[in-house]
Chains A and B, each alone.
Chain A
Amino acid sequence: MGRLRNLLWLTLGYFVILELLLVAAVLYYPEFIKNIAALVRIAKFLPVAGEMLEHVEKDGVVAYVAAQHFFKGGSAFGSVSAVLFAVGAVAGEAYRGTLEILLARPQSRLRILSERYAIGFCAFSLPILLSSLTTPFWAAQVGESVPYGSMVLMSLHEILFLAPVFSLAFLCSTLGSNPLRIALAMMGFVLASYALYMVKTVTHYSPLRLADVESFVNVHKNGHLDYPLCAGFVLVSALLFVASVRCFAKRVP
């Protein structure tokens, strides 16, 4: 009950942050696009950032939203949020000693874990979906048009990309007893992915390649999800969840 209340506040906070970043970015778009040619020239010395700017120059406001909202707010900041929403599920209970009373109730461990997984999943994914759906409205304020359909598809791609990150943190939570340590380790992983992404020679090793500006622009252009890739996200998440269930079944409070 208390955990649910805390999660609701965190979800609301995450939505507000995403929305503020989105609004600021979209309202700044006219100024940004005016200077895009100069920015592309400067970014030639920063190859990966330059790629992003080239996408914006070529594909306009959708690529810009993909970079600002989905890549920065979703893939990077969203990974951290997904981790934060997952780590408390079991490790948080163990840390404060409440795991025993949680497990002593007449509920199966599978049900407890499934509920926590579903709630955590909704907590990080709903703000992404909802804030994305407000994008067309804000874009219209600066005279631009962004299709709702593309926003929904790009949100789904983003959520499915974050699902394995969330599931991995969730698995660690079922194994560990210190949520802070798990969160720090997972955030280290996210930061390393980001650092890899920004270096041209190793950028293709970064998981963020699967949810960068190019991926989102492709979803927009194709009008559908990258089905094989998304199936991979779902499969990895499902396997991680099954592993969590097995680990949780053996857990001693």
Chain B
Amino acid sequence: MSAGLIEIKGLGRSFGEHVAVHPVHVSIGPGGITGLLGPNGAGKSTLMRMLIGLTRPDVGQCSVSGQALQGDGTAIRRLVTYAPGEIAVYKELSAGEHLAWLLKGRDPGALQRAMEMAERMELPLDKRVQGYSHGMKRMLFVIAALAPRVAVRILDEPTEGLDPSRRKEVLELLQADAAQGTTILLSSHHLGEIDLICDRRLFLRDGELLDEQHSNQLHAKGQRALRAHWNEVVEPAPLEQALAGLGELRLGADRLTLFLESNDPRPALAALATVDALPAPKSVSFGQLSLGELYHEIYGREGI
């Protein structure tokens, strides 16, 4: 009944004086792709590791597909696959041997499916992983996490270090997997891909999970962002005057971002056209930089 449901109740962890993750309460799934966002050190990896028993929580409980986290989490790890964020391999093993080692204890067909995926991705399985590039190693771990038949996959930065075509392939694989009802929890710094494939976004800041309603409001706000760029410095005063009352305005030397009150950008565009001596903009976009703006709103810095 609860297959694919991740329930987190007050899970938290400190390392000495440093609180890595404040008690988190959230339910994820069943099904769908949930993105976990946050800058380095926000607590994303620690939270993911706690879910599968790699790091012991100080407080709280969690369960995956109805299985509570107990002891060292072996019971949960049988129901979940995990791809680590940091890539380290046994250099002396070939890629095929590595896959066999990673999939030990999984369902009998997992290795065969992994081999087929690796072939499709053109990964040479007989080659030692020592000779693999960072991206190829990442692919190997993603394949090992996607091959077993499980209801939940936890992927820590699955596309980090991949070239654009590989990244696209991985995102397609994740979408296809989620379409079959699998719950996927992934972390990433790539806001664009999170926006592209995730049904839900969770934001962590300094180990605290942001109120999801607040996040959704911010996301919706980002969807109403009108942004314009110029090739030269523009006068701020006429812009402020023309756009007054249309939304929250942020001005840079050669750019502006206007968070509109409504979903219709036409009044703002018409107001811009009335500004005297305003040069033609290099670019104008509406709602496209939503997650970047959102990231900036939350963390006070630009996302990737």
- Whether the pair B101, A108 counts as a contact (CB closer than 8 A) is no
Set of chain B residues within 8 Å of A105, measured between Cβ atoms = 77, 102, 104-105
A109, B52: Cα distance in complex, Å: 13
Interface residues of B in 79-123 (CB under 8 A from A): 82, 84, 86, 88-90, 92-93, 97, 100-102, 104-106
Q: A1-B101, A249-B72 are in contact. Are A97 and B86 (CB under 8 A)?
A: yes
Set of chain A residues within 8 Å of B300, measured between Cβ atoms = none
Interface residues of B in 249-273 (CB under 8 A from A): none
- The closest CB in chain A to the CB of B141 belongs to A101
- Whether the pair B84, A107 counts as a contact (CB closer than 8 A) is no
Query: Which of A106, A109, A110 has a CB less than 8 Å from the CB of B106?
Result: A106
- Whether the pair A100, B54 counts as a contact (CB closer than 8 A) is yes
B55 is an interface residue with CB less than 8 A from chain A: yes
Query: Which of A5, A6, A98, A106 has a CB less than 8 Å from the CB of B77?
Result: A106
A252, B16: Cα distance in complex, Å: 13
Q: A97-B88, A253-B54 are in contact. Are A106 and B105 (CB under 8 A)?
A: yes
**B164 → chain A, closest Cβ, in Å?**
26
A101, B105: Cα distance in complex, Å: 13
**A237 → chain B, closest Cβ, in Å?**
23
A1, B128: Cα distance in complex, Å: 13
**A33 → chain B, closest Cβ, in Å?**
47
A58, B105: Cα distance in complex, Å: 58
Interface residues of A in 66-86 (CB under 8 A from B): none
Query: Which of A3, A5, A101, A252 has a CB less than 8 Å from the CB of B88?
Result: A101
B27 is an interface residue with CB less than 8 A from chain A: no
B78 is an interface residue with CB less than 8 A from chain A: yes
- Whether the pair A108, B72 counts as a contact (CB closer than 8 A) is yes
**B194 → chain A, closest Cβ, in Å?**
23
- Whether the pair A250, B56 counts as a contact (CB closer than 8 A) is yes
Query: Which of A106, A110, A252 has a CB less than 8 Å from the CB of B55?
Result: A252
**A223 → chain B, closest Cβ, in Å?**
46
Interface residues of B in 1-21 (CB under 8 A from A): 15
A6, B105: Cα distance in complex, Å: 23
A3, B115: Cα distance in complex, Å: 23
A96 is an interface residue with CB less than 8 A from chain B: yes
A2 is an interface residue with CB less than 8 A from chain B: yes
**B93 → chain A, closest Cβ, in Å?**
5
B231 is an interface residue with CB less than 8 A from chain A: no
Q: A104-B54, A105-B105 are in contact. Are A1 and B97 (CB under 8 A)?
A: yes
- Whether the pair A1, B88 counts as a contact (CB closer than 8 A) is no
A5, B55: Cα distance in complex, Å: 29
Set of chain A residues within 8 Å of B71, measured between Cβ atoms = 108
Given A98-B90, A106-B74, A250-B56; 14 other pairs, CB 8 A cutoff: A1-B101, A2-B90, A96-B88, A101-B84, A101-B102, A105-B104, A106-B78, A106-B105, A107-B74, A108-B72, A109-B74, A249-B72, A252-B15, A252-B49
24 pairs of residues in contact across A and B, judged by CB atoms under 8 Å: A2-B90, A2-B92, A97-B86, A97-B88, A98-B88, A98-B89, A100-B88, A101-B141, A103-B54, A104-B52, A105-B77, A105-B102, A106-B74, A107-B77, A107-B105, A108-B72, A109-B72, A109-B74, A110-B72, A249-B72, A252-B54, A252-B55, A253-B49, A253-B55
Interface residues, chain B, with chain A CB atoms under 8 Å away: 15, 49, 52, 54-56, 71-72, 74, 77-78, 82, 84, 86, 88-90, 92-93, 97, 100-102, 104-106, 141
